[in-house]
Amino acid sequence: MNRLFTFVLLVTLMPIAWAEVLPPLPQPQVVKLNDHVYALLGPLELPSPENRGYMVNSAVLVGEKGVILVDTGFSREIGEHLKHVVETITDKPVTHIINTHDHGDHTLGNIAFPEATIISSDKCKAVMENSGYEWIGLLEQMTGRSFPKTKPVVADKGYPPGTHKKIIVQGINLTLWVPPGSHTQTDLLVYLPQDRILIAGDVLENKLMPSFRDANVKNWVATLEKIGAMPISKIIPGHGPLMQQRNVKRMYDRMKQFYAAVEGGYKQGLTDSEIRQRMDLSEWKKLKYFDEFIGLNVNRTYLEVEAANF
């Protein structure tokens, strides 16, 4: 009888003993921009077992009866993590989510907010259901974990390219801008005209090398030029510290020179590797993850220039 009791006890406790012990998710840096706008600045890192894929900036807009959350993280657990952070700011529920583009590190946390209305660009809504599973696979590969509870959840409302839509959500005035595909073909920027705050997604990144993986670099340069002419006092980028217009100007200059160098090299008959060897990359080398992305970015821009000159 004693042996039977011991066996039952061990079987009962085995799931506890075998449970995976996970490191706590990193806490975002919460920056209060005014009485109703907060930036949640995530880690400036690539996905790893330690951060479990948490690497994105989000924005919290506290409205009359609810919260607008811009970008929700890379998984359901990161979305739930951000929900708990929101609860430290306000007791109002998250009623609306805005996705700045389809990349999984910005969208896969949507599933943690089943009651929220989700807004994105039309193109984001169209591609995210398929691209989301690719991003889950990438997350699992880079963190060494599976995420069975994470699934893509697409927007309820999408806006077409060229949109500059003025809307009021929870009493907050927003302008939703869908530029020609820049960082991705699915970009949407959120501007708060009364607050002079821009939430830019990955169209703007600070202190790290942007990925041109899905970019149209020429359009991106034009979008940055337009941002530079806007009356903005504070910017929440997709990754990295808060920005101001002087930071936008630096990124614009880097991107413009980058595209021009690749285009000029192509017209001289050089290969992408030859162009890279001749480019002045001194400003780019100051950015985090330069080595990880420079080859991809030169090649992606080369292919874009080649297509434009075909």
Q: Per-residue pLDDT tens for 227-268? A: 999 999 999 999 999 999 999 999 999 999 999 999 999 999
pLDDT reported for residue 129 = 82
Question: Is the whole model's pTM more than 0.95, yes or no?
Answer: no
Domain assignment present for residue 35? The answer is: yes
Please state, in angstroms and rounded to a whole number, the distance separating the CA atoms of residues 306 and 65. Answer: 51
Please state, in angstroms and rounded to a whole number, the distance separating the CA atoms of residues 303 and 32. Answer: 41
Contacts from 257-266 at CB under 8 Å and sequence distance 24+? 258/217, 258/284, 258/297, 258/301, 259/217, 259/218, 259/221, 259/301, 259/305, 262/298, 262/301, 262/302, 262/305, 263/305, 266/302, 266/305, 266/306, 266/309
Domain assignment present for residue 2? The answer is: no
Angle at 234 between CA 228 and CA 239, to 5 degrees: 90
47, 73 contact by CB (below 8 A): no
pLDDT reading at 7 higher than 80: no
Return the percentage of the chain with pLDDT > 70, whole number: 93
Provide the number of structural domains found in the chain. 1
DSSP state at residue 24: P
Gap between the terminal Cα atoms of the chain:
82
Find all residues with CB under 8 Å of 227, minimum gap 6, and list them.
189, 198, 200, 203, 204, 248, 252
- Matching residue, tokens 């060229």: 162
Domain assignment present for residue 68? The answer is: yes
- Matching residue, tokens 């077409």: 160
Question: Tens of pLDDT along 166-212?
Answer: 999 999 999 999 999 999 999 999 999 999 999 999 999 999 999 99
* Signed CA dihedral, 48, 51, 53, 59: sign only: negative
* Amino acid in position 102: D
What domain range includes position 169?
Answer: 20-308
193, 175 contact by CB (below 8 A): yes
- 10 Å CB burial of residue 256 (0-12, 13-18, 19+) is middle
Domain assignment present for residue 149? The answer is: yes
Domain assignment present for residue 5? The answer is: no
Question: Tens of pLDDT along 137-146?
Answer: 999 999 999 9
Please state, in angstroms and rounded to a whole number, the distance separating the CA atoms of residues 99 and 199. Answer: 11
Domain assignment present for residue 278? The answer is: yes
Could you write out the DSSP letters of every residue in 66-121?
SEEEE---SSHHHHHHHHHHHHHH-SS-EEEEE-SSS-HHHHGGGGG-TTSEEEEE
Closest alpha carbon to 117 in 83, 82, 73, 67 = 67
Domain assignment present for residue 120? The answer is: yes
**CATH number reported for the structural domain that contains residue 245 in this entry:** 3.60.15.10
pLDDT reported for residue 14 = 43
Domain assignment present for residue 229? The answer is: yes
Write a three-state SS string for 211-259. CCCCCCHHHHHHHHHHHHCCCCCEEEEEECCCECHHHHHHHHHHHHHHH
- 10 Å CB burial of residue 23 (0-12, 13-18, 19+) is exposed
Could you give the count of Cα atoms lying within 13 Å of 296 in the half-sphere of its Cβ? 12
- Matching residue, tokens 């949507």: 110
Question: Tens of pLDDT along 8-48?
Answer: 344 344 444 344 677 799 999 999 999 999 999 999 999 99
